[in-house]
Amino acid sequence: MRFFLTPPFIFLCISYFSFFNSLIQAQQASALSEAVETLPEVTVVASPEQPPSSSLPKASTTTSVYGPDLSLIDIPRDVLVVSKEQLKTVMLQSVNDLIAFSPSVNPTQATGNVVSEPVVRGLPATVFRNGMLVGFSSGGNWGPLLNVNADDSLDLVTGQVSLVYGPQEFAGGYLNELTKQPFFDRLHADAYYTMGMYGSNFWNLDVGGPIKKDKLAYRLDYFGQEGYGPFNYYNGSYLNRQCGYLALSWKPMEAVRIDWNGEIDWNSFLPYAGINRPTQSLIDSGLYQSGSWIGYYTPPVSPSAPFGQFHPGRGTPPPGFGYAIDWGPLVPISSRTNLFDTPLDFTKQLYAVSQAITTVQLTEDLSLVNNSLFEFYQANSAQPVPDPTWVVMPYGYNVEDRLELLFTEEQSGKACWQNVDVGLAFRFLTDLEYSGSWHPTSNQANLIQPLTQAQASAIVPYALAISPAYNNPFLTDLPIPGYPQEFFNVDNFASTQCNFYEISPFLQDILHIGEKFNLFLGGRLDAYFVNAQPPSGTPAELLYPFTAYEATSMSALLPQLTISPTYRPFPWMNCYATYYFGQTTAQSIFGSFAPEFTSTYYHQTQSLYEVGTKFNLLNDTFFLGLSAYAQTGFIPAFVLPGGTTPTVSATVEGIQLQGNYQPTRRFWASFGFNYMQGYENWTNTNGVGPTTFTPYSATVAAIYGLPVSTIVSLAPGIYPFIGFPKEYGNLMVSYKFDWGLGISLWAIAQGGQFLSYDYSVRAPAWYTLNASIFYTFSNWELRIWFYNFTDNHYWIAGAPGFTPARTANLEYAAFQMPFWVQAMIRYSF
């Protein structure tokens, strides 16, 4: 039996809380009246005047995302603090929505996957929860969906992850969730309900207050969701969520504070997978290349059959030989068409997390902080139609702890002082992962007809996998234990049963020399101890000694170093340079390690070079930052079961401008522009270039009668990122009148992007204009959002340049949301 909190029930709860709060206050007043003659004399201190309710939030000028509390202008990175009010401005619900605030963020479809991390500077941005890693995500995909309703604010930092938090992957930045904290002053309650086009509805109840005055307080949040515009707009897609969050804060003594938070999320959804057979006619005119699947090809038996032997009917071709299509005319197709429009496809997630942070103030300058986190994650993503793909995690447990000593020296007229953060981090993870996906993907399906099981390629048994046509036992589709009609493959750098320990000492020192010069120094050493084995259900004939596939044990030491000098020629200007060098690891689907990983995949070298200047102008009302950067590292590559190249080196470089301006309490504006380029380096990969599922578009295949969904390795060389625009821009302005009415406008723009390595099919540049109108009175707020109100139609590639799914970008392209509206009513006290 499932229990849902409905909006009327939420508002009823609010009413009861309000009633009991009034009753408690009345009782306290009565008690005060009785005791008035015995009260001692007290000194009354005036509190600072609170800003009027018509004020817009002041942009934050400090953050602790780099360790100690620092001014944003002093941090040698681009740091964006997104407040609770700003999150509400755009109704942020997914990591893609962060594009409204930062030109470093580029939205991605990640077709068929779950976008669990934002894409920053063309690379995944690792997610942290109050400074601790949110595990079970790899390359921005597959991890638990973000529940922003549990957050008070978000910190978005560009560049490699700080050495205090600890890097996990080649990342273009990192996102730190600052979760909701309890209220010690009085009872607070807030509830909202939204409704919108395409059946998207959310509701939220947020309650908190003191349990024991000045000692113990709580915060409780519940969030429910039925649909979300980007999901429900497309045929067959949906998103349903139930999320519960609880936080407790305890101050047993003046120098000690313990903060605990816990969350349980249940997510059930079907993501949008786009439209297959993308052509320039589809992108420009909405015309789909029709044609029915009539057979498949096996390897050629003579020079007269260069595309192999044709076999009529349903089947799965060996890698490289593809499907045959009886091509038809170009026909109009609805933008709501979805390659996953079938009840057989689904994704389910169960995520639970518990975090405790203990802070002990040892002296005025010295504090001890212990941050511990426990996660449980269970996920099942089934996509049998049209391409047989399954990603299953029956269980995953992640335990982390970081003990750190923070020394914050007072300046007190000194010529030199410092902030030191030294500590030891520990992590243990154990999980079981199944990944089944090697079949050529989706172009055999004809979306002019309803999708059925008949449009899925056939499962490959062991006898067929070892036949002369396939000659690869690891292409066998193996049943996943406990998951009927779901299958996996092994020796694919993804399926694994793994546990590992990680021990990481670290040191960060910020040396202040006079009023103008700072030197940021940091070092960390990650020691990994890994045991990985073939997952349960792997048949004996695929294991050692019958094949080379066997369990492995690995230990690795991964160093990271960073140095950042900063110089303030004027109080309102800071110049900085940052250098980072370090190593991280390759990862399986859910961020663990596969048994086929060799030492190379545990030592992936990365570097970051960045220079920038920050300005604080016009009496602290105008902040501006300009930076140039270059990052090198390794990104995932597509690999067949039994293959050998899961990563390839890559470089991302660019320049960025970002600023915000708030001259009055009524008006606020932010803007940014980023120009980026990304490259894959396939010059030192043993004569192998990038893999592509189809080396030509559906237009070319239809003209020449070529097979589709073939797997081909291109020539070695340097390839610009595909599915990756070079230009990004954003602008947001907000104004609020004294009498409660306000309006926010924001624009997002992005350059064009090529879909595949032949650089022929291109999604052109696009922009959207969006608005939010709101009115507040008493304890109520009404708000309405207008997204893409010019109804601009635009497309993006099915997968961005850093993910292995980019190899299938000529298999699908993703139409983006047209105009849609969402409205909200909120009550709080």
Residues 6+ apart with CB under 8 A from 467: none
Q: Specify the pairing of strand 173-179 against strand 123-129.
A: parallel
pLDDT of residue 244: 98
Phi, psi for residue 288 in degrees, rounded to 5 = -100, 140
For 223-250, write each residue's pLDDT tens digit.
Answer: 999 988 888 999 999 999 999 999 999 9
pLDDT of residue 2: 38
- Mean pLDDT of the region 398-407: 97
Which two three-digit tokens encode residue 318?
């060996």
Residue by residue, DSSP assigns 649-709 as: EEEEEEEEEEEEE-SSSSEEEEEEEEEEEEEEE-SSSTT---EES-SS-HHHHHHHT--BS
Among left, alpha and beta (phi > 0; psi -120 to 50; other), residue 123 is beta
Other Cβ atoms within 10 Å of 438 Cβ, number? 25
- Mean pLDDT of the region 577-602: 95
The answer to whether residue 71 scores a pLDDT higher than 90 is no
Spatial separation of the C-alpha atoms in residues 105 and 89, rounded to whole Å: 17
Residue among 133, 160, 130 at smallest CA distance from 426: 133
Spatial separation of the C-alpha atoms in residues 228 and 201, rounded to whole Å: 7
Residue among 587, 583, 585 at smallest CA distance from 607: 583
Spatial separation of the C-alpha atoms in residues 575 and 597, rounded to whole Å: 42
Spatial separation of the C-alpha atoms in residues 377 and 585, rounded to whole Å: 21
What residues pair up with 556 in beta bridges, in sequence order? 528
CB 377, CB 135: distance < 8 Å: yes
Spatial separation of the C-alpha atoms in residues 796 and 765, rounded to whole Å: 9
- Mean pLDDT of the region 260-274: 96
How far, in Å, are 43, 137, 359, 366, 403 from residue 256 at the CA level? 26, 34, 6, 13, 15
Name the pLDDT band for 793 (thresholds 50, 70, 90): very high
Residue type, 162: S
The answer to whether residue 68 scores a pLDDT higher than 90 is no
Higher local confidence (pLDDT), 113 or 655: 655
The answer to whether residue 295 scores a pLDDT higher than 90 is yes
Q: Specify the pairing of strand 216-226 against strand 201-212.
A: antiparallel
Phi, psi for residue 383 in degrees, rounded to 5 = -135, 65
pLDDT of residue 387: 86
Give the containing element (helix H, strand E) for 229.
Answer: helix 229-232
Residue among 95, 94, 96, 249 at smallest CA distance from 179: 249
How far, in Å, are 63, 510, 537, 664 from residue 59 at the CA level? 11, 25, 54, 11
Name the pLDDT band for 41 (thresholds 50, 70, 90): very low
Which two three-digit tokens encode residue 756?
């595949």
Name the pLDDT band for 686 (thresholds 50, 70, 90): confident
Sheet holding 309-312, edge to edge: 309-312, 287-298, 323-332
Choose from 263-267, 620-624, 659-663 the range with maximum mean pLDDT.
263-267
CB 263, CB 236: distance < 8 Å: no
pLDDT of residue 698: 93
CB 632, CB 607: distance < 8 Å: yes
Other Cβ atoms within 10 Å of 591 Cβ, number? 25
Residue among 315, 331, 333 at smallest CA distance from 323: 315
pLDDT of residue 707: 94
- Give 574's Cβ-side CA count (13 Å radius): 23
The three-state secondary structure class of 164 is coil
What residues pair up with 608 in beta bridges, in sequence order? 580, 631
- Mean pLDDT of the region 72-86: 90
For 725-766, write each residue's pLDDT tens digit.
Answer: 999 999 999 999 999 999 999 999 999 999 999 898 999 999
Name the pLDDT band for 643 (thresholds 50, 70, 90): confident
Which two three-digit tokens encode residue 119?
């894409």
Name the pLDDT band for 694 (thresholds 50, 70, 90): confident
pLDDT of residue 56: 66
How far, in Å, are 61, 75, 516, 750, 778 from residue 575 at the CA level? 17, 10, 10, 28, 46
Spatial separation of the C-alpha atoms in residues 456 and 807, rounded to whole Å: 19
pLDDT of residue 26: 40
For 15-26, write each residue's pLDDT tens digit.
Answer: 434 433 443 344
User: Tokens 């994704």 sit at which residue?
Assistant: 347
The answer to whether residue 55 scores a pLDDT higher than 70 is no
Lowest mean pLDDT across 288-297, 408-417, 516-525: 408-417
Name the pLDDT band for 288 (thresholds 50, 70, 90): very high
pLDDT of residue 60: 67
Phi, psi for residue 34 in degrees, rounded to 5 = -70, -30
- Mean pLDDT of the region 392-404: 98
Name the pLDDT band for 59 (thresholds 50, 70, 90): low
Name the pLDDT band for 72 (thresholds 50, 70, 90): confident
Q: What is the mean pLDDT of the chain?
A: 90
Q: Specify the pairing of strand 727-736 against strand 691-692.
A: unpaired
Lowest mean pLDDT across 22-31, 172-181, 423-432, 679-688: 22-31
Would you give the distance in Å from CA 466 to the centre of its chain? Answer: 39
The answer to whether residue 10 scores a pLDDT higher than 70 is no
Angle, vertex CA 591, rays to CA 586 and CA 596, nearest 5: 50
The answer to whether residue 187 scores a pLDDT higher than 90 is yes
How far, in Å, are 54, 385, 648, 713 from residue 446 at the CA level? 55, 12, 34, 26
pLDDT of residue 644: 84
What residues pair up with 371 in beta bridges, in sequence order? 357, 402
The answer to whether residue 51 scores a pLDDT higher than 80 is no
The three-state secondary structure class of 121 is coil
Give 56: exposed, middle or buried? Use CB within 10 Å, 0-12, 13-18, 19+.
Answer: buried
- Mean pLDDT of the region 694-715: 92
pLDDT of residue 769: 98
Name the pLDDT band for 14 (thresholds 50, 70, 90): very low
Angle, vertex CA 252, rays to CA 247 and CA 254, nearest 5: 110
What percent of the chain has a predicted confidence (pLDDT) above 70?
93
pLDDT of residue 646: 86
For 515-559, write each residue's pLDDT tens digit.
Answer: 899 999 999 999 999 999 999 999 999 999 999 999 999 999 999
The answer to whether residue 139 scores a pLDDT higher than 80 is yes
